[in-house]
Structure 1
Amino acid sequence: MKKKERAIRLGTVAAMLVTSWMGDSALAQSSVTLYGVADTYLDYSNNNPSAVTGQGGGKSVVKLSSTGLSGPRWGIRGTEDLGGGLSALFVLESGFNVDTGTMAETGRLFNRQAFVGIEGAYGRLTLGRQYTTIYETLPNFAPLYYSNTYEPLVVLLGSPREDNAVKYRFAAGGLTVQGHYAFGEQAGAIQGNAGLGVGMVYVAGPFAIAGTYDQGNGPETAEGHSKIRKAALAGSYSIGPASIVAGYRWGHDTTAAGATALRDNLWWAGLRYELTPALMLSAAFYYDDVKSRTGVVNPPNPKQYVVQGIYSLSKRTDVYGAVAYARNSGLNFGDLKTLAAGKESQTGVALGIRHKF
């Protein structure tokens, strides 16, 4: 009996060791991570239209807003080691508003990203709702890293995401190239609602350069489909704690009939300086040379100046402030009609906090 009991115990221990080894092995081969960002800020701006009927314009407003340095989001991402240097991956990411607790986009849970793909030595291929190539090419060349306080992202990039997209990215040494194609899924019109883009980034020590092209088509009609096309070239250079960035973005929007709806050249430049390991200061300038716009004779050329500071309280939490002045437009190059009648400039001040988890 003693020998039998001893054998049973040894067998149980061996089974536990095998089970433990297999469990650890499985965990090492795959992982799922919950992550997110919470970001909100107090925002002052002047020269707003009055909300009271019959009252004059040029009113100031103070708001608690969402999306300061980063868009608030929560997400799930995961990878699985398939062996042979190949891995599967997925990302599901949802945006929300910190100031109200609502979804950033009603009716679309994973409005920011929702894709699955595979990655190996020959690059990464992903399918689903994804960022456009122009969006993923330029963040390090934008003076404020796509901060909503205050960088004119819509004018610079257009729509940052596309549905039904297939994207490929490859990186080797200092070179990264990528491209995407978004299916329009319109019966009988393969180009209707479709989108495409290509981009390249090359980094050599303190110097980096980027080039990208993006096109988004409207729905197919009897006349054809509208097009929103953008191409950009940008560069950066780092000198100790300082870095400078500059870029140019060509833009041409056409109607379904092929007429020009908007033609502009956007220029920008910025300086970043790490005053201390915890404090980053940035200054930025943007100028949009509007050549033509439908229905507007001699369209104004917006310009905007921004000064921003970010102080890191920890690796995950920072506080920030920014001051901006826009001429011939609202802040972030908002249309003049968003200003009070007779006003052609706007000033904004933002103070906020961001936490990453």
Structure 2
Amino acid sequence: MKLRKRKVWMAMALSLAAGGARADGLQIYGILDNSLEYLSNASVNANGSKASVLRASNGSQAPNRFGFKGSEDLGGGLKAIMQLEAGFNLNTGLLQQGGRMFGRQAYVGLQNEWGALTLGRQKNLIYDAFLELDPLSYYSYSLPALDAQFVGKADNAIKYSGNFNGVKIAGLFSTGYDASIANGAQVPGEWRVGKEYGVSVGYANGPVNVSLTYDQQQGTSVATQGTTTQRVAAGASYAIGNWKPYVGYQWYLSNVPGVAGRNELYFAGVQYRPVTEVILSGAIYYNNITSANQHPYLLAANAAYLLSKRTQLFAEVGFSRNQNGSNLGVTGYGMSVVPGSNQLGVAVGLAHYF
């Protein structure tokens, strides 16, 4: 039954692409990214010794995806807009985001000079703001490794975003941000279950890019709906010739069972383009987890060489430092790392955009 549903969705997507080509225009796009990766202290053998791993790693530079994006001119400066975007594992062909067909984005909306109003599964506001404010541009050894919400999406979301001469404002409300739980978190009579709220303000013009974002999620069950997970994130970058330094901060507080805690995340880094074809980046991410008296950090660097406008070679190296039982791996907390152990990661790969 699941396979049949997926075939139906694929047929609908291809039909949409064929029909859209005759309208105002439908863009078909995607990213194919794969690498060979080495990780130290990735697991523990039966004899108690720590083991490293050499593996094919999917989406080291950018998560693999394909999508459809289109618009229709309705007149008077008003446009209908839509986007469908699927994430998948290049090594296995399996869908990501819990098996959702269009798990990365799936929305429809209206747009004019006053901004865009969209409805569906969408990126949260932290994702929107910090993709441009992460020194390592969301490579696998970067900001999302410290907090997955930096690449978070919200189901059942209504989002507004506007840009007024560089001043950016946005707001998001989700009636149930995770449809993988019972009733899609939209439980009759239980208003707060699974809700997500977000607001963001920023300025991007010329060399300057700054952003301040607030995000709040309610517990995803009737019993936990009164609990909250809150984040306040701020970041900035400034281009100086071929250099672009970055700084950022995030405050996190949660009393939701299973993820409860308090921490402060600090990061800083720089990008450098000595020539057009080369991008060099480096950063440090430090997490002060006050609720657990842990202070892990991640040091990372990467280099990309653009073979063309759509194809590039890349290499990245990362080192995560753990203490007091923390389990930060170079790709994320609890991700292929022995708790309390440091980890070295190295990846070399190829990415193609279409």
TM-score by length of 2: 0.85
Query: Within 5 Å, which residues of 2 pair with 1:317-332?
Result: 317-328=311-322, 329-332=327-330
Deviation of 1:300 after TM superposition, in Å, equals 1.8
Matched, 1:306 2:300: yes
Give, in angstroms, the shift of residue 302 of structure 1.
Answer: 0.6
What's 2:130 paired with? 138
In 1, the alpha carbon distance for the partners of 2:223 and 2:143 equals: 37
What is the RMSD of the two structures over their aligned residues, measured on CA atoms? 2.2
For the residue of structure 2 that corresponds to 1:187, the secondary structure is coil
How far the C-alpha of 1:105 sits from its partner, in A, is 3.8
Question: How far apart are 1:337 and its partner, in Å?
Answer: 9.0
Residue number in structure 2 paired with 1:292: 291
* Conservation of the 8 A alpha-carbon contact between 1:44 and 1:62: yes
Cα distance, 1:106–1:136 mapped onto 2, change above 3 Å: closer
The structural deviation recorded for 1:156 is: 6.1
* Counterpart residue type for residue 44 of structure 1: Y
Distance in 2 separating the partners of 1:301 and 1:79: 47
Mapped contact 1:81–1:87 kept (Cα < 8 A): yes
Change (3 A) 1:147 1:139: same
Q: Is the 8 A contact 1:219 1:225 kept in 2?
A: no
Cα-to-partner distance string for 1:203-236 (whole Å, 9 max, x where unaligned): 2432221100111112243464332111011111
Q: Is the 8 A contact 1:321 1:352 kept in 2?
A: yes
> Residue in 1 aligned with 2:189?
188
Q: Deviations over 1:249-285 (max 9, x none)?
A: 00001136xx992100000001110011100100100
1:197 aligns with 2:198: yes
2:96 counterpart (80, 97, 104): 104
Match of 2:3 in 1: none
- Partner of 1:16 in structure 2? none
Q: Structure 2 stretches of 5 or more lacking a match?
A: 1-19, 177-185
In the alignment, does 2:79 pair up with 1:87? yes
Change (3 A) 1:317 1:62: same
The AA in structure 2 aligned to 1:33 is: Q
Q: Secondary structure at the match of 2:126?
A: helix
Q: What's the CA shift for 1:49?
A: 1.4
Contact 1:149 1:350 in 2 (8 A): no
Deviation at 1:154, TM superposition (A): 5.3
8 Å contact from structure 1 (residues 156, 249) kept in 2: no
Query: 1:149 deviation in Å?
Result: 3.4
Contact 1:155–1:333 (CA<8 Å) still a contact in 2? no
Cα deviation, residue 121, structure 1? 1.4
For 1:1-357, list aligned pairs within 5 A: 30-50=24-44, 52=45, 54-105=46-97, 107-153=99-145, 155=147, 157=149, 160-184=152-176, 185-222=186-223, 224-255=225-256, 261-293=260-292, 299-328=293-322, 329-332=327-330, 334-335=332-333, 339-340=337-338, 343-357=340-354
Give 1:292 deviation, angstroms. 0.1
**How big is each residue's C-alpha offset from its partner over 1:7-39, in whole Å with a ceiling of 9 and x where there is no partner?**
xxxxxxxxxxxxxxxxxxx97961112111101
Task: Identify the range of structure 1 (139-148 vs 104-113) with the bigger mean alpha-carbon deviation.
Answer: 104-113
* 1:126 to partner: Cα distance: 0.3
CA distance, structure 1, for counterparts of residue 224 and residue 217 of structure 2: 17
Output the amino acid matched with 1:310.
A
3-state SS in 2 of match to 1:292: coil
Identity %: 33
Which structure 1 residue ranges, 5 or more long, are not aligned?
1-25, 294-298
Letter in 2 for 1:203: A
Pair 1:80–1:324, CA change in 2 (3 A): same
Which amino acid is 1:196 matched to? Y
Measure, in 1, the Cα distance between the counterparts of 2:63 and 2:259: 32
Tell me by how many angstroms 1:174 deviates: 1.2
Q: How far apart, in 2, do the equivalents of 1:62 and 1:27 lie?
A: 43
Contact 2:329 2:336 in 1 (8 A): no
Aligned-pair CA distance for 1:188: 1.1
Q: Deviations over 1:295-314 (max 9, x none)?
A: xxxx3211111111011000
Deviation at 1:333, TM superposition (A): 6.8
Q: Which TM-score applies when normalising by structure 1?
A: 0.85
Report the CA distance shift for 1:353/1:149 in structure 2 as closer, same or farther (over 3 A). Answer: farther
Three-state SS of the structure 1 residue aligned to 2:291 is strand
